[in-house]
Structures are given as structure tokens and as C-alpha cells.
Amino acid sequence: LLLILYAFVQTLHLPPGDSTGANLKQWSAISADPYATWLSVLKLLALTIAGVLLIRYTCSRRRLRALLFTLIIVGLASALFGILRQTTQHSQGFFLPALSPGSGYAQFINRNHFAYLAEMTLGLTLGLIIYGGVRREHVLIYLAMALALWASLVLSNSRGGLFSMLAQILFLALLFTFAGVKRERGTKGLEERSSLRRISRTALLHPLIILCLIATVFIGAVWIGGEALTSRLETVSSEITPERSAGNGSVGRRDIWRATWQMIKDHPLTGVGFNGYWSAIPQYHDASGESTPQQAHNDYLELLASGGIIGVIFIAWFLVLLIKAIRRSFQAADSTARAVSRAAVVGLFGVAVHSLVDFGLHVTVNALVFTALIVIAVSGRREIMDEKQNSAIQYKRNSVDAVSALSILTPVFCFYFIAFYFYRQ
């Protein structure tokens, strides 16, 4: 909420600090594009409300399981649509008129945006399998879904997606090895503990198993991706080296990052406003002007450029609280809560890695799935009730929720409508 309030302050037109007497200067906002920052305020507010509602109403196993299934089905449906489009589209429009052959993947215009969705759902699915979050008789079903997600991620030819997937597998294996998966008999959880833990008890086998797993996944990815993926992997060095071709009108990430850093040095404290990056970057980007970056292709740099040190402090504060909540979830007494929490963290880790080179969280569906994964990751810090227990107290809570929602949302919406009115004036 503090970050949302700070983003709103960035849209306000403030008086200049040195305006005196007749020498009045025009009031200006912190944001380079106040309207775009205002839209980001509304988006952040919507995501926050969605996260709060998910936390409030995923208090039973049935509801938590429904949320897990929904996320996996969304990712799987997108993956299957992407495979179908990749293999059959030959003309403009494929159910959606904006989809062009050879451009983007699945329902996304940018292939990397699909990779974000696939990483999150693939990490969640693999985590549920490895950490014992599914019944033994359902493991093959989840493996089939994970295979479809993996194949679609490879076929998308997203270099950042492939790198993030390998990082996810390494993180999953390390978390499985060092965090441990306790076998519990007679626990409240629905899932039987995974037998994979017994296979890897020997400490000497851990590095070998991890290396073999990563090598197998990488070789399989190159084999399925074929020449198209290999060609894209060969262009990685040109993205981050100074010897970028200047005659093709394309923009390398290294040039974008350098320009972004110059902008950060000019606006270190408050930044240029959330969603205002595209408006401020042209004066720092030394290029022909044929192609101007709209994003920093690094969400961490863009966060610092957009929010400045103040915004980073708010984000760091949130991350500290989030890590503490996740640690409590990892130590939950309920085996179900531990399993789904670890699985969600695997999905979040993939996004953290991919955000080093891309900006997929700018897409609303990816941001919403990311929010849902955060909710799942911290779900173990509270007791997950059986459905009978939940229904027994649900009626009492509904009236309290209704009154609380009205008392909170009414002044919030009034404030934003009034602020928007004065902003338009």
C-alpha cells in the first residue's frame, strides 16, 4: 500500500523548489508520464486487492487445491494453444486477429511473456511432484502436464525462458536436497510422501543427480527446439557485448542497460515514475532513433529507474516480510502446506531469474499468476482447515468481511475518484 501511495504521489504536479515571486516556473510531476503512472497505480491496487482476497479465501484445502488447479490449467491451456499455433498457423490471425505467424507464442505477442507463464506453472507442477504435493496415483498425470509445459516452453524459443527453466530445476533439486521432505504417517495432508527422497539419501549422489538432470533437460530442449532454438542461443553474446551490429536497427540489451543506468544516476532518489520509463529513456539512449526501447529488459534496473531509492526501499521491506512468511510456511506442521509452499517458491524463483533479462511481469495475466504464487507460498504460515471446519466458521466471518470490505473500499474508491477528478482538471 505504501508503494501504491508513493506511485500516486509521482503523478501529482508539484511546485518547483526554486520558484519565487514573479519568477514562477511550471509545476511538474515526478513521473515522466503521469497518466501511465496513474494506470500503474490502478493496476497495483487491483493486484493487491486480488492478493488480499486470495489470502482470505484460500483457508481450506479444497480452496487451496482449486487455486493450484486453476493456475496449472491456465498455463497448460496456453501451452497447448502455443503448440497448436506453432505447428499449424500459416496466415495472419489464429483465433485472435493480432497473432502473426512466426511472431510471439500462444496468445502472447512476445514469446518471452509466454515463457514467464510457462515457468511459473511448470515450477509449480514440478514442485508438487517432487515435494509430495500430489497423491501417488496422480503423479503420472502431473508429469504429463509438466512435459507439455516444458515442451511448449522450449518451442517458444525464449532464451531467457530456457535459462530460467534450468535455474528452476537446479533450485528445485537444491531445495529438495537441503530443505528436506519429511515423511509423516497419519498426517492431516492429503498427499503421500514422495519416495524420491529415499533415492537420493546418499550425499555423494546429490551433485551427480543434479548435473545429470540439468544435462538431460538441456539436451532434450536443444533436440526439441531444433535449429531455431540453437540459432537464438548463438545470438546471446551479441546482446550483451559492445560489438552490436549498428546497421540492422536492432537494440542490444547492453546498450539499454547502459542508458538505463545513466537515467538512474540522474534520478537516483525518486526515479522517473512507474510506467514512465519509455518516456524518459530516449534522451539517454544513444542510437539512430529507428528503434527506441520501451522497457529496460531488466525488471530490477527498471524498478530502480522508475521508483528510485525510495521505491526500492519499499520493495525491499516487502521482500523481507515475504521471506519471513515463506520460512514459516516451510516449517508448517501440515505436510500439504509445506509441499505447496515449496512448489510455489520454485515458480517464483523462475520469475526472479528471468526478470534479469526481460519484463514479463508487465503483462497483467503474468502479474496475477505471480500474485497467486505469492499467496500459495505463504499459505503454510496459517492453519489450513478441513472443509467442515471452514464451513462451521464461514458464516460468522461473512458478515464481518462484508462490513470490513465496505469500510475499507468505500473511502479508497472515493479518494481515487476525487483524486482522478482533480488530476483531470
CB 179 within 8 A of CB 342: yes
What pLDDT is stored for residue 246 in this prediction? 46
Q: Is the pLDDT of residue 420 over 60?
A: no
Report, as an integer, the average pLDDT of 351-369. 93
pLDDT reading at 397 higher than 60: no
Q: What is the pLDDT of residue 404?
A: 54
Average pLDDT over residues 121-143: 89
Please tell me which of 142-146, 213-217, 416-420 the model is most confident about, judged by mean pLDDT: 142-146
Distance CA 379, CA 302 (A): 30
- The answer to which of 270-284, 285-299, 380-394 has the lowest mean pLDDT is 380-394
| Structural contact between residues 303 and 362, judged by C-beta atoms closer than 8 angstroms | no
Identify the pLDDT of residue 62. Answer: 86
> Is 90 exceeded by the pLDDT of residue 368?
yes
Task: Assign 20 to helix, strand or coil.
Answer: strand
Q: What is the pLDDT of residue 254?
A: 82
For residues 261-270, average pLDDT? 90
The residue-averaged pLDDT of 357-368 equals: 92
Q: How far apart are CA 76 and CA 152, in angstroms?
A: 9
Q: What angle do CA 258, 260, 264 make, to 5 degrees?
A: 115
Q: What is the pLDDT of residue 58?
A: 83
SS3 assignment, position 108 = strand
Q: Is residue 296 scored above 60 in pLDDT? A: yes
The pLDDT confidence band at residue 186, using thresholds 50, 70 and 90, is very low
Cell of 380: 503454510
Which of 69 and 16 is assigned the larger pLDDT? 69
Q: What is the pLDDT of residue 78?
A: 94
Strand partners, 108: 105
**Which of 16-30, 66-80, 119-133 has the weakest average pLDDT?**
16-30
Q: Which three cell numbers stand for residue 159?
A: 532464451
- Nearest Cα residue to 297 out of 262, 366, 263, 251: 251
Residue 192 has pLDDT above 60, yes or no: no
**Comparing 91-95, 134-138, 139-143, 236-240, which segment has the lowest mean pLDDT?**
236-240
Q: How confident is the model at residue 209 (pLDDT cuts 50, 70, 90)?
A: low
pLDDT at 123 over 90: yes
Higher pLDDT, 219 or 1: 1
Residue percentage of the chain with pLDDT more than 70: 68
pLDDT over threshold 90, residue 350: yes
Mean pLDDT calculated for residue range 318-330: 92
Average the pLDDT over 15-34 and give the result.
61
* Residue (of 65, 133, 60, 64) closest to 146 by Cα position: 133
Instruction: Give the C-alpha separation, 141 to 213, whole Å.
Output: 20
How confident is the prediction for the chain on average, in pLDDT?
77
More confident position, 133 or 197: 133
pTM, two decimals, is 0.80
pLDDT at 398 over 60: no
Q: Give the lowest-confidence range in 205-219, 323-337, 341-355.
A: 205-219
Alpha-carbon Rg for the chain in angstroms: 24
Concatenate the DSSP letters of all residues of 372-383 into one string: HHHHHHTGGGS-
The C-alpha cell at 242 is: 559492445
